[in-house]
Amino acid sequence: MRVIAGSARRLQLKSLKGNDTRPTLDRYKETLFNTIQMYVPDCLFLDVFAGCGGIGIEALSRGAGKCFFIENNRKAVEVIRENLEITHFTDRAEVLTADAVTGMQQLERKGPFDVIFLDPPYNKGLERSALSYLSHSKLAGEDTLIIVEASNDTEFDFVEELGFKLTKAKQYRTNRHLFFVRA
């Protein structure tokens, strides 16, 4: 896993051994950031279910003003901190060790965020609970872009009732990125 572009380009990032996290593949990360490049400069970025921090660190490398990371796996949190040291982004980042909803509750006073990225473990319904929380949270404002990485078979038929509108979907071989805004 590496940083693809920006000030930390080509730096190798650490990741956890085993299946505790699932880093976004470099080619998917590049496609994602090509899609959201106009949102990133100076933005307030939130990386939820952050794993080893690759997406948030990529945002910082590409000019995000500040990134908050939420991850409940303590080993992964240590890797995020190491990766922030490697990339020299510790001054523009804050890492919370918490489950997604608890972490978002702790950040209520920091919002609204410009971009919120959710990458929950696949097929566990966690994207629904995170989006449900965001539907009534100050973290997601009128102009907030919410991106969810999910398996191709994950259903999102509930998002309209939560007040979100799907604006774009990018499908890959086994997963996809879905882009939501407030309806």
Q: What is the pLDDT of residues 62-73, one digit of tens each?
A: 999 999 999 999
Q: How many domains does the chain have?
A: 1
Return the ∠ at Cα 126 (arms to 121 and 130), rounded to 5°.
125
* 49, 120 Cβ separation under 8 angstroms: yes
In-domain check, residue 17: no
Q: Which residue has the tokens 């051994």?
A: 17
In-domain check, residue 14: no
In-domain check, residue 15: no
Alpha-carbon distance of 142 to 138, in angstroms, equals 10
In-domain check, residue 75: yes
Higher pLDDT, residue 12 or 61: 61
Domain range for 142 is 26-34+42-182
Here the tokens at position 183 are 């309806």
Give the confidence band of 28 by pLDDT, cuts at 50, 70, 90. Answer: confident
Alpha-carbon distance of 138 to 30, in angstroms, equals 29
In-domain check, residue 56: yes
In-domain check, residue 2: no
Reduced to 3 states (helix: H, G, I; strand: E, B; else coil), residue 42 is coil
Alpha-carbon distance of 158 to 131, in angstroms, equals 10
In-domain check, residue 83: yes
In-domain check, residue 12: no
pLDDT above 80: residue 26: no
Q: Write the CATH number for 141.
A: 3.40.50.150
Give the pLDDT score at 27.
Answer: 79
> What's this model's pTM, rounded to 2 decimal places?
0.94
pLDDT above 60: residue 20: no
Give the pLDDT score at 115.
Answer: 98
Higher pLDDT, residue 3 or 133: 133
